[in-house]
Amino acid sequence: MGTKKEQNLKKLFQINREIPITTEKLKTMGISPFLARKYKKSGWIASIGFGVYKLPNSSLSIEGLLHCLQDDLSLNLHAGAKTALEMGGVRHFYREEEKVYLFIDGKRNVPLWVRDFYKKAKIIRTSKWNQKKFLYNPGTKEFDFFIARKELAIWEQIELINRGETFEETAQLFELLTSLDPKLINELIKDSSLKAKRIFSFLADLYNHPWVKGINKSLLDSGQSEITVEKGGKYLKEYHL
């Protein structure tokens, strides 16, 4: 093998096998789309979609996907809701068919290969809460990736009730969140829906975690209109739910 090829392959094989490899990433390594096709024919990389590859014997992960989208493609995106809680160590139970929630800036979209390859991915487009202060790197991998802080994740989970998530599971997750930052919660409340504010008020009173004392209750004033959370559920007069 020529020296240039050896250098390219050495850099290529140093990529963590949990991370998809985009053509953009390959270009930064001096590997053109033409060379990528040759490498594919030689079996050094395998295609998983248009413009994206993996190394042989790879075990691609959601963490690796996040690194690829956030770092290589510079997308303003994060794992959120119960996906972020699970990745951050908040576990109640796990189902094999569990959705993977990815929240992306409303003006952007993920590449088509993400939906094709990661069948569990549920893409939520939103213009809220994409600031870095609401995200963190849990440090569980050798590479960086960012997910919602627990404060943001539970708000996202609440907002998803009746949009793929249930009140019961959300309440179970809320019960486990014994240490949150009330300052962040107060910031999140300001951009939350009326439904989310009502549900949060009920759950905060129900579990009464120590951090609840730091919540500005005036921000939770959401009027008197009635809101249905789940059909056939119990009516909670105090919360108009």
Tens digit of each residue's pLDDT (9 = 90 or more) over 176-211: 999 999 999 999 998 898 999 999 999 999 999 999
Angle between helices 194-207 and 150-159 (to 10 degrees): 120
Q: What is the dihedral of CA 104, 95, 47, 103, to 10 degrees?
A: 0
> pLDDT-derived band of residue 3, with 50, 70 and 90 as boundaries?
confident
Task: State the average pLDDT over residues 66-74.
Answer: 96
- 145 and 162, same domain (yes or no): yes
- Rounded to an integer, the average pLDDT of 31-43 is 95
Tell me, yes or no, whether 45 and 107 share the same domain: no
Contact (Cβ atoms closer than 8 angstroms) between residue 83 and residue 93: no
Q: Indicate whether 223 pLDDT > 70.
A: no
DSSP state of 70: I
pTM above 0.85, yes or no: yes
Find the domain containing 47 and state its range. Answer: 3-54
Beta strands 21-22 and 52-54, pairing class:
antiparallel
Same domain, 37 and 85: no
Asked if residue 18 and residue 70 are part of one domain, the reply reads no
Instruction: Dump pLDDT digits (tens) for 76-102.
Output: 999 999 999 999 999 766 565 688 999
Average pLDDT, stretch 226-232? 64
Proportion of the chain above pLDDT 70, given as a percent: 88
The percent of residues above 90 in pLDDT, for the chain, comes to 71
List phi, psi (to 5°) of 49: 165, 175
Return the closest-CA partner of residue 63 out of 154, 149, 157, 142: 142
Q: Give the Å distances, CA to CA, from 129 to 45, 91, 148.
A: 36, 23, 9
Together in a domain, 50 and 69: no
Tokens of 49: 């979609």
Question: Where residue 4 falls among pLDDT bands split at 50, 70, 90?
Answer: confident
Lowest mean pLDDT among 115-119, 219-223, 230-234: 230-234
- 78 and 170 in a common domain: yes
| Pair (157, 107) in one structural domain | yes
Whole-number pLDDT of residue 49 = 94
Please measure the distance between the N-terminal and C-terminal CA atoms of the chain and give it in whole angstroms.
69
Same domain, 126 and 23: no
